[in-house]
Amino acid sequence: MYIEELIIEGFKSYATRTIISGWDREFNAITGLNGSGKSNILDSICFVLGISTLSHVRANNLQDLVYKRGQAGITKASVTIVFNNEDRERSPPGYENHKQISVTRQIVVNGRNKYIVNGHNKNQQDVANLFQSVQLNVNNPHFLIMQGRITKVLNMKPPEILAMIEEAAGTRMFEDRKEKAFKTMSKKDAKLEEINTLLETEIGPKLEKLRESKRTFLEYQKMAADLDQLRRLLIAHDYVKCETKLQTSGQDLEEKKDRIVTLEQMQGVLAQDMEDIDDKIAEIVAEREKDSAQLTKLESTFKEYAKELVKVQTQCKLKEDTIADEQKNKNSLLKEKNETEQSLLDGKAKYEKLTADYESTMKEHEEKADSIRKLEDLIQTLSTGLAAKEGQENGYQTQLQDANKAVSTAASEAEQAKLKITHLKKELQEKLPKAKAAEKQNSSLLAEVKANKNVTEMLQSQLNDISWNPDREMELLRQKQVGQSAVNDLRERIEGLERELSAFQFDYTDPVPNFDRRKVKGLVAELVSISKENFDSATALEICAGGKLYNVVVESELVGTQLLQKGRLKRRVTIIPLNKISAFKIQAERLATAKRLAPGKVDLALNLVGYDDEIEAAMNYVFGSALVCKDAETAKRVTFDKGVRMRSITLEGDTYDPSGQLSGGSKPNSAGVLLKLGTLKDLRKKLADLENGLKEVAREYDGYQRTASHYQGLKQKLDLKLHEGRLLEERLNTNASAQIIQHVESLRKQLQEQETLRQECLEKKAAAQERRTHVEKEMKEFSAHREDKLKSLQKELATGKAQLAKAAPEIRKVQQQIDLTKEEAAQLEKEIVQLEHQICQVEKVIDDYVNEERVLKDQLAEIKRSYDKAEYALEHERQALSAFDVETKELETQKKEKKQLLEDCKLEVQKLKHELEKFHSEREQATRRVKELVQNHPWIPDQRQLFGKPGTGYDFAKQDLGEVRKRVSQLEERHKILERKLDQHVMDKFDRVEKKETQLKQMLATVKRDKRKIQETIGELDKYKREALRKTWEKVNVDFGAIFGDLLPGNSSKLEPPEGQDITEGLEVKVALGGVWKQSLTELSGGQRSLIALSLILSLLQYKPAPMYILDEVDSALDLSHTQNIGQLIRTRFKGSQFIIVSLKDGMFNNANVLFKTKFRDGVSTVERIAQRDKERSAATSTAGKKGRVVGVVRGGVMTPRRMN
């Protein structure tokens, strides 16, 4: 909060309305000649802030503040300060939403003093509180440093310096108010003593006496009122009682007579009903005895069928096992046969490969041997003919002759083939036109032949692609028959169990279209399972669940409602909605206690059953509140133990309840249903597995049948096409045109053969010519190099013989392998024949066993039907006998009820007759009593409508009339005693004295309470004050030294308590110049002392900055350099507060952001504003030009800006 605008009118030297605006929010300076009114601006600010010591504003009284004391025609002084209040965190309480706060103070000569805040009148204390809340306490100001303040600080004693620290800490105001509080409390103590004396000596005794008299008077009044009310209550009750008897007597009389007649008639009816019930019971007992003999007979028949059924089932099972074993044996033989056949195929392939390799090798070997023989003959010829040169020529000559002969022969054969080709071409040329004509005549027949050939080839390819094994088909057929038989047996067993467990069938129709049946989980009995290790607990679990086994579990109560309303249920059911069921489950501590009492012999029923997680809530509801024990001793121990107290059930079915109830002795009729249901589930699962396996076998068998059907169809088509092809060939052979065509085809074939033969002959001729050339070359080489050539031939001969010798063992080895492979194949063929024989024998045995099994199953089915019929008849008979027992029990219950009704009727008749005799005498007495009451108490007719009504004084139901009569007697006696010593005016006397005592006590209590609170508050604030004072001292001490060091570099200062004293007793200034601490300030120069005082004041200002600081010529004792330092210090260090400084030195006001110059003209002060620094945060800022500055001049009471060059 800082000053934005100051409006002065009629205050001291400002006669006219003067508006000073554009105050900088940080540093403002005021200067002017002496007497120009610069200090009057500060006085006007202090005036608005509510200063009470007028000497601080250089006035003796308020009239001195008015222009010329009101003698110049101006009789009112008014000053208005407009504060900027945009900073809400530092805003006065209650003014957070006001962006500006306007405070005006006005005084009138010889008139009143008025304050106005934002247009509303306020008293001086409200304004003082407003400024004190933002640390602007003008009557004890630390923000106001007037002329002479520096000198006072220099002469201050330690307690006075401490007071400055207290003011900065904010504790000084607390000290002032504490002193005022102590003075006020001392005055109140004398008044308290006076009030206590008055209460003790005068008012107390008198009031006690009057209080006793008042109690007596009030007791008398209350007693009289109570006595009158109770008397009226008794009289009214007596009146109503008699009147009621008179009103209801006639009606009651007739009702009671009618009731007696009705009860006598009812007695006759009940007696007859009891006789009828006895007759029915006798008939039912006779009928039951008759049916008991039939039951015995049925039980005997049922047992015989059961024995026979077990016997045949065992035989069927043995037969099935035998068939399975034989089938395994057959499968083993088939597998062995397949493996042997594969081995045979592999052996034959190996034999063929070895044979082909052997033939190829032998051919090469023979050609090599022939070449060796010829070479050997050549060498022999050449060697023999060495003495006669003709031998050599003869050897080569023979080869040359052979080559010439081969050339001649090949040329002759080629020429013959050429002649034949010429002849065939000529004949073909002649026959070809006839063949074309014949083709036209037989084109359709030829097309049929060609089409038939294509179709035949396609069908043959399709047949080759089909993979069909007749043996596998027969095996699948047998598996299908065996599987179907097993499925039928299982279905019969399941149907039998379902009939036996028909009570657990839950059938319903969909209550709504597209109903999701998964929301109906089923009966509880069907949803639980029992593992084999817990089979012995089945009876206990059935008794634990009881009738809940038949409850139906559903997903929600909505599903249950739909089933009950639209499900068309065939019987009544109880439904368990999973989302609503609230189940009790035994606490873990109880279960642990039970297991500790009988380790291994007790467990929670819920833990013995299996179920899905989604139905856990229903299982908790059914099995979560009972224990299952192995024996009775364990059940007793855990049931009645204080730490358990839970219902327990033994494995035999005996139930122990903590209430003391025991039940058991025999198993229920439903014993074993859970195990049967478990067996039914297992059979259904096994049936599902068998049906899946059977489906797979049937699928494969159907595939084989389709393949076989497809194969037979193709085979028939192929045979048909082959037959058609033969017929077409016969037609072609017997047709003349066809013969011509065939002859042409034959000629073409012969022509192709001769061309091939001629080509081969030409190739042979070329080879023979090449061989002849080679021999001629050899002859020439032999003639030129006979020795070398002979050696070369001999070497070639030796190499060839060595190769033949080396190849002989390999050839023999291959021959041996061929022989061995041939023998192995022959052996495998024998084994295959033997295996096929064994397989035939096994299949025959299996067929015999299957026939025997079929006979046994037919026999079993017949026995099973008889067994089921006997079982149904037995169960029906048992139910009939059970119905007899139920009916007999119901009849006996009816008889007992009717007998009790008969006794009640007789008793009521006797009672009514006695009441009739008593009624007549009471009626006469009631008539007389009503008349007497009305005569003696006239108020009865007026109050009659209230008698007996609730909420009135005549509410008979709320009162014990016997006690009322006793109370009336006591009150009458006490009333007589009090009436003799009663003071009738005691109430007025007591009220006057009591009121006075109450007022005095309230005043006394208020004063004591306020005194106690003040003392407690002062004690707490003393603690806070000391802590705040210490923190303030430490902070101010640091700033004091720093500021003094800035003003006088190289020196320091501090505040310390006087020697031997505490901080709360005083503080004194210590100064260090040149590193030496001075003992006294008298050792300092005047300027140094002024700097010390000013540093202390500024450090106090910096500790807890107020929104505004006012300094009046604080630099008067300083030289220019120190004045400049202080100005810079204020501008740079004090950024959060608004400074208003009056100074005559350039070094000070040149540092200000805004400078106000005052002038005194014609007896009136004026103000000129100069904006020395442009700042965005200035309240009123004008931008100076490049040459000159902006100033504000007050003319006619309004400041206007102008430019100064």
Tens of pLDDT, residues 48-91? 988 887 777 888 888 888 998 888 888 899 999 999 998 888 88
Tens of pLDDT, residues 371-395? 777 777 777 676 665 433 344 444 5
User: Would you say residue 569 lies in a domain?
Assistant: yes
- Taking all residues of the chain, what is their mean pLDDT, rounded to a whole number? 78
Q: What is the C-alpha to C-alpha distance for residues 45 and 1112, in angstroms, rounded to an integer?
A: 12
Query: Would you tell me how many other CB atoms lie within 10 Å of the CB of residue 501?
Result: 17
- Determine the average pLDDT of the residues in 8-13: 92
User: Would you say residue 42 lies in a domain?
Assistant: no
User: Would you say residue 534 lies in a domain?
Assistant: yes
How many helices (H) and strands (E) would you count in the chain?
A: 24, 25
Residue with tokens 């094994």: 469
- For residue 534, what is the domain's CATH number? 3.30.70.1620
| pLDDT attached to residue 1203 | 40
Of the listed ranges 222-226, 564-568, 741-745, 752-756, the least confidently predicted one is 222-226
DSSP secondary structure string, 684-744? HHHHHHHHHHHHHHHHHHHHHHHHHHHHHHHHHHHHHHHHHHHHHHHHHHT-HHHHHHHHH
Number of compact structural domains in the chain: 1
Question: Of 253-262, 477-486, 1086-1095, 1151-1160, which has the strongest mean pLDDT?
Answer: 1151-1160
Q: Which two tokens stand for residue 774?
A: 């080679």
CA 454 remoteness from chain centre: 74
Q: Give 1034's strand partners.
A: none
User: Would you say residue 518 lies in a domain?
Assistant: yes
DSSP 571: S
Tens of pLDDT, residues 916-925? 777 766 767 7
Domain housing 568: 503-671
| pLDDT attached to residue 438 | 67
Tens of pLDDT, residues 318-367? 878 788 878 778 777 777 877 887 887 888 787 788 787 777 777 777 77
pTM over 0.95: no
Which residues, 6+ apart, have CB-to-CB distance to 627 below 8 Å? Answer: 586, 591, 594, 602, 603, 604, 605, 635, 638, 639, 644, 646, 647, 648, 649
Q: Taking Cα atoms as reference points, which of 634, 612, 638, 608 lies closest to residue 541?
A: 608
Q: Which two tokens stand for residue 733?
A: 């052979």
| pLDDT attached to residue 1204 | 37
The residue type found at 1009 is R
| pLDDT attached to residue 5 | 94
Q: What is the C-alpha to C-alpha distance for residues 627 and 650, in angstroms, rounded to an integer?
A: 9
Q: What is the C-alpha to C-alpha distance for residues 354 and 361, in angstroms, rounded to an integer?
A: 10
The residue type found at 473 is E
Confidence tier at 17 by pLDDT (50, 70, 90): very high
Instruction: Determine whether 251 is exposed, middle or buried from the number of CB atoms within 10 Å of its CB (0-12, 13-18, 19+).
Output: exposed
Residue 102: pLDDT over 90: yes
Of the listed ranges 417-421, 575-579, 771-775, 949-953, the least confidently predicted one is 949-953
Q: Give 874's strand partners.
A: none
DSSP 537: G
Strand ordering across the sheet containing 626-629: 602-604, 626-629, 647-650, 655-656, 662-663
Which residues, 6+ apart, have CB-to-CB distance to 331 below 8 Å? Answer: 475
Residue 290: pLDDT over 70: no
Question: Of 217-221, 597-601, 831-835, 1012-1016, which has the strongest mean pLDDT?
Answer: 597-601
Name the percent of the chain lying above pLDDT 90.
Answer: 6
Residue with tokens 């004391």: 69
Residue with tokens 């001490």: 1037
Q: Which two tokens stand for residue 1100?
A: 């106090």
CA 1193 remoteness from chain centre: 77
Q: Which two tokens stand for residue 1109?
A: 């600081």
User: Would you say residue 690 lies in a domain?
Assistant: no
Distance (Å) of CA 349 to CA 362, 819, 833, 850, 989: 20, 14, 20, 41, 149
| pLDDT attached to residue 101 | 94
Q: Which two tokens stand for residue 183?
A: 């003075």
User: Would you say residue 698 lies in a domain?
Assistant: no
More confident residue, 654 or 442: 654
Name the percent of the chain lying above pLDDT 70.
Answer: 83
Tens of pLDDT, residues 607-640? 888 988 888 888 888 888 889 998 888 988 888 8
The C-alpha torsion from 888 through 890 and 892 to 893, rounded to 10°, is 170
| pLDDT attached to residue 336 | 81
Distance (Å) of CA 114 to CA 134, 193, 250, 809: 22, 41, 95, 151
User: Would you say residue 665 lies in a domain?
Assistant: yes
